[in-house]
Amino acid sequence: RERERERERERISYKMGLEQVRKTVGFVTYMLILLVLSLYGALLYLLPFTLLLCIDPKLYRGFFGFIQRYFFAINYYAGTYLMGLKFTFTGDLIPLSESGLFMCNHRTRYDWVYLWKYYHALHRTSQMRIALKNDMRFIPAFGWCLQLFAFLSMTRKWEVDRENIANYFDSWRRSGFAGQLIFFAEGTDLSPGNKKRGHAYADKMGLPRYEYLLHPRTAGFKHCVQMGRGHLGAVYDATIAYGGDIPKRDLDWLFGHYPTDIYIHVERHALEDLPETDEGLAQWCQERFAAKEKKLADFYERKVPLGEPVKEHYPFGRDLYLTSIPFFLLLTLSIPLPYWLLISISPMAPLVAAVFGAFVWTYISYYDLLFHKEIELIQAQYKTKPE
């Protein structure tokens, strides 16, 4: 009997080892696809069309939104099937034409990657924007795409971020863009070190300790809401939770220790129902995070679902899956044609193109030119808020 138990433990250990290998291979393959897609897309598809910004900012943003939709469609299918991801959506749906602030907890460093999948399921990736650390835009290839898709860079310098947020929402209002900004009010992820610092802060301020969250930094949230009044329709209070392994370090992802069961719960709060004062907004945000902590404690400790499953959903997008591959094949054969002609003329052409592209994008990344230029042109072209 003891030998049977030992053999059973060995079989379980063997299966777990195979599963970790599969997850590792899937993650590495997905990251390679993301790298190639970002590098190839940024240098060959997106760079030539930045000239549209000088013609019409709305045309420029419309075209890049079109590319963004297919970019994240390929990301969705590659990540879902290679990494074995499964999603469960509960709560409220986001209306297709509504602009809003999507406030989510920050459980892991890469929560925003999972939120791509949520917005893809809603067919809203072309309107999705994410507030990310400023360092993200310096990542070669991938960071360049984030800039071109007009994601918001946060420098952690309040004077700079306050002005950038104000201009960001002002450009949305003037151009009538129905965007969705994903915003992490905690400011950082729930790593062991950040959790320890969060407990020290709670003790110092006389606040309860959170096990599944950090206390929110309300300054950015208040400013986003106040700057978005008159254009944003709602604040979406989102809670993300995971089943399975939760990574504590970046290397955990590489070795297959990442969650494959993702649960996203969303509650819609009309902007007109939120407090009007900064003090009231700060209190409202803190109360939402207190409720979020209780919901997560029930989920992890007592296996209580985050909410009722979504009863209706938008067409999921098989048509998008079927059209995304031939679409990019068409672009591969048409837009980069001058590059292939150069390659046929001189073997040095790819190296020259790569060096030139790296120089251009390093310059743009360092000075954040596209972000400020697009806002400047929108503010000049659309003097007042459209009716």
pLDDT at 320 over 80: no
Looking at every residue in the chain, the average pLDDT score rounds to: 79
For residues 223 and 165, the answer to whether their CB atoms sit within 8 Å is yes
Please measure the distance between the N-terminal and C-terminal CA atoms of the chain and give it in whole angstroms.
Answer: 78
Compare 134 and 300 and report the one with higher pLDDT.
Answer: 300
- Going by pLDDT thresholds of 50, 70 and 90, the confidence category of residue 359 is low
Residue type, 19: E
Q: Which residues contact 334 (CB under 8 A, 6 or more apart)?
A: none
Sheet holding 100-104, edge to edge: 86-91, 261-270, 234-243, 100-104, 180-183, 128-133, 152-154
288-297 per-position pLDDT tens digit: 999 999 999 9
Over the stretch 363-373, which tens digit does the pLDDT of each residue have?
555 545 566 66
Average pLDDT over residues 173-188: 88
Task: Say what percent of the chain tops pLDDT 70.
Answer: 75
Min mean pLDDT across 41-55, 138-152, 342-356 is at: 342-356
196 conformational bin, left if phi > 0, alpha if psi -120 to 50, beta if neither? alpha
Does residue 112 contact residue 334 with C-beta atoms inside 8 Å? no
**CA torsion 110→114→116→119, rounded to 10°?**
-140
pLDDT of residue 321: 47
